[in-house]
Structure formats: C-alpha cells, structure tokens
Amino acid sequence: MNTETKLKIGELELGQGLILAPMAGITDLSFRRITKSFDVDLVTSEMVSSEGLVRNTVRTKMLLQSHAEEKPLAIQLFGSDPKVVAEAARIVADEGADIIDLNMGCPVPKVVRQGAGAALLRDAETVAMLVDAVRQAVSIPVTVKTRSGWSQSKINVSEVARVAEDAGADAITIHPRTAKQGFSGSADWPLIAKVKQAVNIPVIGNGDVTSPEDVGKMRKLTQCDGVMIGRGAMGNPWIFKQARQLTKGQPLSSPTPQERLDVVRRHLELYEESLHGRQSLSGVRSRLMWYSKKLRGSARLRAYLSDCHHLEDMIKICEDFFSALEE
C-alpha cells in the first residue's frame, strides 16, 4: 500500500522527507551527489563554522562547494553569537543554499566549549536569539537540529523545540540521544513523538535508522514528518531508494557486487573532482572501506587497505574484492 507522505519546509516541497544527515568529514560534495542519485529528498552539508565563514577562512569556504545536481541543499551552521551566525547565514544564502540548518546538538568538546552545538541545550535564551537573528537575515527556510537534552537528568528537547518554533524556525530535527550519550546507547524514538505533539512545525526524526525498514518503523512510532539518515547511509546510499520502495509497496531491490563497484568508482571520481587536484589517501581509503561494510571478507579488505599507501593499489584491491563477490 502506498502511504507516501509529503514534507514541506517553508515553501520548499520535499516529497517523502528522506534526508541525508550532516556528518563532519563525510557529507562532502561527492557523497551528497552520490546519495542524490538514490532518491534522497534533501542533502545536508557537513557542519560549517559561522566564525570561519565570516572570517573568510579558505578551509571553511571550501565546505560550501555545491553542484546543481544535488539540489535542494541544506547547509548546516554552528556558532553561538547571533550576529555572527546571521552573517554566515547571509553568506550561505547568497551561495545558493536552499535551507539553513542550525546545529544545536553536536557534542564534540571543541564545539561545546564555544557555547555552540549541544551547549545550546543549556541556554534556551540563546537558542531563541540565534533562530530569530537568522530568520531576520535570510528569506530561505531555517531549521534546527538538536538532541534530547544535555544529560539524562536534563531532557528538555520539547522546550527547546517550542522556543525555536516561536523564534521562527520552519522545522526541527530531533536526534533523541543526550549530549552526554554521544552515539552510545539507543536513540529514544518515543521522545520524537513527544516533540511532534509539542510543536506545529514539521518534526524530522533521526538516530538509529540503519535499514530501509527502520524508516517506516520510525514514522509509525513517532508520526514524524520526515526521516533523516546519517551513519546508516555511509557506504549504503541505496537505503533511500529502498525505503521509498517499501513505502510504495514495491519489492526491495539490493545492489549486486558490480553495482556496488560502479558506485564506488563514481564516488571516487566525484571525490577527486572535489579536491581540485589535491590528493587525500586517507579520504579515499575511508570511502572504500564504507562500501565493504557487512560484506563477506570485508575485514580482510580493510586490513589490506590500511597497509596500502598508493591510490592505484587501493582501487585495484577494491575492484578485486567486488569482482570476487560477483563470481
């Protein structure tokens, strides 16, 4: 049975609301373009420093690389100074972003020490000022991504969500783990349902969505308006297409080893293209490893790749691995 839902953020229509989560060092231009070819409705950039953008730092500006084929595109900003974040939002909007997403959930110490990311869960007043400042600065939709609270004894995501909505946020994404949890334990999906009941803006669920079946389970349990997938999409961009197939009652199609290899090759092409002539062996190595997860012989492949220090050899090892699976 077709139970397809429709997500609308501001004036932007996003189909079923299947969204690629922002992941530092992972959701670069090459990965976003790959996932876009597998029916994702919205892709999100890596987390971008508002301070770095305003200071025109070259490394930060590189994170704004985009391509027409990945649209619509959300750029995620982090920061704690409303004026600086608003100015960064204007820069991002001028660069062609379709959505500004404000990070209010990153638990990494160097981000938290700045009063940004998950630190904002302890400061609802700054949450309101940040959202309001960005809302006043740009005409495109403004969203917030946050966690359940700072710690298990301080679960306040419903309050933060209401504050964000009142300040002008167009949607909110909930990863129902606390900042103290990081990525340990399990995501508390029922908490997403509570936020859904607390606000009138769209609520997007995130956390522990690692299979296409999980998308439907999260929707059913939480009544969320969209589903954001992060680590479950690493080396597995097929998850978006498969989730859509399940929603439409279609048979689930899994990629063959040759299809996996074709996507690996394409991903590496896009990755090298985005580096503009530079080379990152560690970047190539990690991307090759993503695509072998849970496949027969993947541990041996990772060991070979870890010991390999030449790009051509890495690619040859990977090609032999997928060819053997095909046989």
Catalytic residue positions? 106
Phi then psi for residue 322, to 5 deg, are: -75, -30
* DSSP secondary structure of 268-300: HHHHHHHTTT---HHHHHHHHHHTTTTSTTHHH
The SS3 call for residue 230 is coil
Identity at 40, one-letter amino acid code: V
Identity at 131, one-letter amino acid code: V
Tell me if 80 sits within 8 A of 107, measured CB to CB.
no
Dig out the tokens for 66 from the structure: 């985009």
Tell me 226's DSSP state: E
Integer Rg of the chain from CA: 20
For residues 43 and 33, give the distance between their C-alpha atoms in angstroms, rounded to a whole number.
9
For residues 218 and 225, give the distance between their C-alpha atoms in angstroms, rounded to a whole number.
10
Burial code of 108-144, b = ≥16 C-beta within 10 A, e = fewer? Answer: eeebbebebbbbbbbbbebbbbbbbbbbebbebbbbb
Q: Which residue has the tokens 């990311």?
A: 117
The SS3 call for residue 198 is helix
First-to-last alpha carbon distance for the chain, in angstroms, is: 36
